[in-house]
A and B are shown apart, each in its own frame.
Chain A
Amino acid sequence: MAVVQHSTKPVDAGDETAGRGSSIPRSRLRLGDIMRVGALGLRTRRLRTGLSTLGIAIGIAAMVGVLGLSASSQADLDAKIRALGTNLLEVQAGSGFGRGTGELPDTAVAMTSRIGPVTAVSSLTTVSADSGGTVRRTDTISEGINGGLSVFATDPGLLDTLHATLADGVFFDNATASYPATVLGTTAARTLGITDVADGLRVYIGGQWFAVIGILDPVEAAPGLDRAALIGLTAAETFVIGDDLAPETLYVRTVDGAVDDVRGVLAQTVNPATPEEVEVSRPSDALAAQEAASSAFTSLFLGLGAVALLVGGIGIANVMVIAVIERRSEIGLRRALGATRAHIRRQFLTEAVLLAGAGGLVGVGLGAAVTAAYARSQGWTIVIPPVALVGGLAAAIVIGGVAGLYPAARASRLAPTEALRSN
């Protein structure tokens, strides 16, 4: 039996026509309604929504957290490097077999300061415990109980050369450097129970009382100073050793562009006789290496976060497939009410995107919170890269879209009669 007629012409068109031989206004679903329809399934299945959102949230939180933490720690290291300056060089006398005596020539400071681009030189020398380099609160405490503190002899320029700062009191000047006065490192001060220079306290170094005139902040360039008592070179020679003290370590500050040039000539200058016994390093390099190491970990954790995200995305696809099966009759009803295939497809796609987007939002918040909490506990400045926030949300939405693609297509392909069949 052939289809006989197309005789009935479309009726009066009215104002809006669907074209293609029909006078019926086409089905329309407003943008706001797409969102509302897409959110409906999420509102009515709260537990499932919550759980599948959680999957994405964990992945996003991991990634945002990793990016935030690495940015925060990096910012912290950057700040340290900046405080330290990349133009600081450390010169040490080699020690051990074939490496020298552990001492630099007495002329080292004077020679180094003659290098053109050098702006400051300071020396630091260990006053060994054997030769009286012990710090005690009083002379009644046994010499063996020194709290792990050491004594260094130095010159008044050290503070500026290292860009170190004082927590309290003053540093040596040319006068006090030859008097029995000491400046304590931060840990040393705490160990000795000294918090305030104004108390006029003294400590017992070697066989002599030294007045505490200053307390240092933590010194980034030379962390060893935190556990030390500093005394003037002359004072050390006069009151502790009773002999000349050869410099052991030099700190050299150079003009910014000339670090490498200075580095090249430093060993020769410091010890013209045996330059191979001199070790020159740059303290900021250690921090830079730390930074590089932490960024390697960042990529590892980012990878783990990506895996979590992938699993979350699969979870959403799974939930959406189930939703399409469960909501067959809803699909049928909507088709009966005039929904086109595209409307059905958009509904489920929107639902998946909303699901993942909500997870992304929660994850971004969680990741930022974790970053803030950890950074605060470490005393870092909180740095959360905006790209991580925007990227995290965008990634979640893209994942939702991809995860929803197949379930949505499946929903839209369902024939209305099939969808409405009761069973």
Chain B
Amino acid sequence: MTAWSSTLDVPALELVDVVKRYPGEPPVSALDGVSLTVDRGEMVGIVGPSGSGKSTLLHIIGTLDRPTSGAVRLAGVDTSAMSDRQLSAVRSQLLGFVFQQFFLLEGMSALDNVANGLLYRGVAPAERRSAAEDALARVGLGHRLHHVPNKLSGGERQRVAIARAIVNRPAIVLADEPTGNLDSKSGAAVMDLIRELHGEGHTILIITHDRELADSLPRQVSVRDGRIEHDSGPHPVGVGSIEAGG
């Protein structure tokens, strides 16, 4: 199975004293000593105004960027000393991304877009498609497999993107303003879906500036000026979360 499947006891995410400084005159500290632990099966809202460093935090958790110092461990895997190629492997194996702009590829069906979630794991095409079909069915789009993105509504597109994020059974799903481009109705539907996935054991981090949305999540971490301002702390994980993950 996946590389992290045997590590139930290890947190899904550990940040230890993470600093991100951008060189310049004067240097800008985007993150200034952030430590955070997220257990498996948790759903956490990382909330903060723009410029608070939450996007940098997302990039560093997502291994899209490296911290200046500090440690990032994903499902116990220390990514601090990894090469670019190894970080790519981490992303393909351990992470699922949901973006505000969906980032679906035009010119290919919903099914193929979701199958792309397994593309860089070298999974055979037939296998990718069958996994993608399951994932699309899971997000309620089993009837939209062969639609191209611009034939889908915004809410549907984001559900396709969510299916793509979970098709590789990641250790963590990172969602960056997942409802930011949606009207309130489809936004709510997307949040319902995300909650359901959490209920099935997915570990989910939602980065948002929307305090109301964050407040609806079991745990909130507020970020301001590159520091964690407030952490509501690990919520007593909901019944059923842990066992569903294993």
**Hey, which bits of chain A sit against chain B, CB under 8 A?**
1-6, 8, 10-14, 18, 20-30, 32-33, 37, 40, 43-44, 329-330, 332-343, 415-417, 420, 422
Give the chain A neighbours of B91 by CB distance below 8 A.
27, 335-338
For chain B, residues 122 to 145, give those with C-beta under 8 angstroms from any C-beta of chain A: 122, 124-125
Q: A24-B86, A420-B64 are in contact. Are A33 and B119 (CB under 8 A)?
A: yes
With beta carbons under 8 angstroms apart, the residue of B105, B107, B121 that contacts A338 is: B121
Once the chains bind, are B76 and A8 in contact (CB under 8 Å)? yes
Chain A nearest Cβ from B236, distance in angstroms: 26
Once the chains bind, are B119 and A337 in contact (CB under 8 Å)? yes
Q: A11-B10, A12-B6, A337-B117 are in contact. Are A332 and B103 (CB under 8 A)?
A: yes
| CB nearest neighbor in A for B75 | A11
For chain B, residues 38 to 86, give those with C-beta under 8 angstroms from any C-beta of chain A: 59, 62, 64-65, 69-71, 73, 75-78, 80-86
Q: How far is the CA of A317 from the CA of B129 in the complex (A)?
A: 34
Which stretch (B93-101, B207-215, B221-229) binds chain A?
A: B93-101
7 interchain pairs, CB-CB under 8 A: A8-B71, A25-B121, A27-B120, A338-B120, A343-B88, A417-B65, A420-B103
Once the chains bind, are A20 and B86 in contact (CB under 8 Å)? yes
> What class of interface size applies to chain B in its complex with A?
35 or more
Once the chains bind, are A340 and B108 in contact (CB under 8 Å)? no
**Hey, which bits of chain B sit against chain A, CB under 8 A?**
1, 3-4, 6-7, 10, 16-17, 19, 33, 59, 62, 64-65, 69-71, 73, 75-78, 80-86, 88-95, 97, 99-101, 103, 105-108, 116-117, 119-122, 124-125, 164
Once the chains bind, are A3 and B70 in contact (CB under 8 Å)? yes
Q: A27-B120, A332-B103 are in contact. Are A337 and B92 (CB under 8 A)?
A: yes
Q: How far is the CA of A268 from the CA of B111 in the complex (A)?
A: 92
Give the chain A neighbours of B97 by CB distance below 8 A.
333, 336-337
Q: How far is the CA of A421 from the CA of B157 in the complex (A)?
A: 19
Q: How many interface contacts (CB-CB < 8 Å) are there between A and B?
A: 157
Give the chain A neighbours of B84 by CB distance below 8 A.
340-341
Give the chain A neighbours of B19 by CB distance below 8 A.
1
Besides A8-B71, A28-B121, A337-B92, 9 new A-B residue pairs in contact (Cβ under 8 A), listed by A number? A1-B33, A11-B10, A24-B3, A27-B85, A27-B120, A27-B121, A28-B120, A32-B125, A422-B100
| CB nearest neighbor in B for A24 | B89
Chain A nearest Cβ from B12, distance in angstroms: 13
The 7 A-B pairs with the shortest beta carbon distances in the complex, nearest first, are A338-B92, A28-B122, A44-B107, A338-B120, A416-B64, A340-B88, A333-B103
Q: How far is the CA of A416 from the CA of B107 in the complex (A)?
A: 22
| CB nearest neighbor in B for A22 | B86
Chain A nearest Cβ from B134, distance in angstroms: 18
